[in-house]
Amino acid sequence: MKIGLQFAMPAEFHALPGARDLPPVETVSGVPFFEAAPGILACAGGVSKVNAAMAAEIFCLKYGVDLILNAGVAGCATDLPTGSLVVASEFVQHDVDTTAVGDPIGLVSTVNQVVFPTWQPERCVSLLKEQGVSAVTGRIATGDWFAVKGSRAEWIRDTFSPLLVEMEGGAIAQVCLRNGVRFVSVKSVSDHLFSEKQAEEYFDFGQALDALGRVVLPLAQSLAQEFC
């Protein structure tokens, strides 16, 4: 069982214990890949959908992973406390719009679907619970926009009803679907879209990183054992 841990930012990857001291196995298309544990590779593929898709495709095609676990921080569209963990039940892409030609909002062409489910989110919550960690499940919306308070954020909330909004997971879900690779995603709440203190929260998300760093590698190892 090979697992790829995919983060967006180096700060998220460095939240893993000992990650700062790991030498890269190799660098592919400008993305360093690391061995986080036996059978578990990791990378910080970059922010936004194109970067995320490229790194995920490398995991699938070059390294032949059986599962990608996407982890990172995300903005909250509800009132979950900072540092809360969310296991994605599904992803939508809020910035895909071909309604002008009669498609439903959010429809991703070629695969022709709006919603991208993840692999057994409730089982992942159970595995986290075995670690003594609480998590909830819910929909996450992805798009190439850092979500901030305003009419656009309100439209995303009212149209897609996500718990969280971020910039990578939906793209990784799409790549995994095309490659027949299982996909799991765990996010930690870093800020709140409709808070007057959102910017202050985002630039001080150490609590969210700590919560993430404690659970990601143990979860990946538990998932590996599921398939042994």
- Residues identified as active-site: 12, 191
User: What is the DSSP code (8-state) at residue 168?
Assistant: S
Measured distance CA(107)–CA(37) in Å, rounded: 37
Residue 223 within a domain? no
Residue 196: what pLDDT?
92
Residue 218 within a domain? no
E strands present in the chain: 3-7, 26-28, 31-37, 40-44, 67-76, 85-93, 116-117, 136-142, 164-166, 182-192
Residue 64 within a domain? yes
pLDDT digits (tens, 9 = 90+) for 177-218: 999 999 999 999 999 999 999 988 888 888 889 999 999 999
* Long-range contacts of the stretch 158-163 (C-beta < 8 A, 24+): 159/94, 159/105, 159/106, 160/92, 160/94, 160/106, 162/77, 162/92, 162/94, 162/138, 163/76, 163/77, 163/78, 163/80, 163/86, 163/136, 163/138, 163/139
31 near 43, Cβ under 8 Å?
A: yes
Residues 125, 186, 191: CA angle, nearest 5 degrees: 120
Residue 70 within a domain? yes
Residue 217 within a domain? no
Domain holding 166: CATH number? 3.40.50.1580
Token pair 């990650």 in the structure block, residue: 19
Residue 206 within a domain? yes
118 near 135, Cβ under 8 Å?
A: no
Residue 228 within a domain? no
pLDDT digits (tens, 9 = 90+) for 21-57: 999 999 999 999 999 999 999 999 999 999 999 999 9
Residue 199: what pLDDT?
87
Question: What's the chain's length in residues?
Answer: 228
Residue 140 within a domain? yes
164 lies in which domain range? 3-212
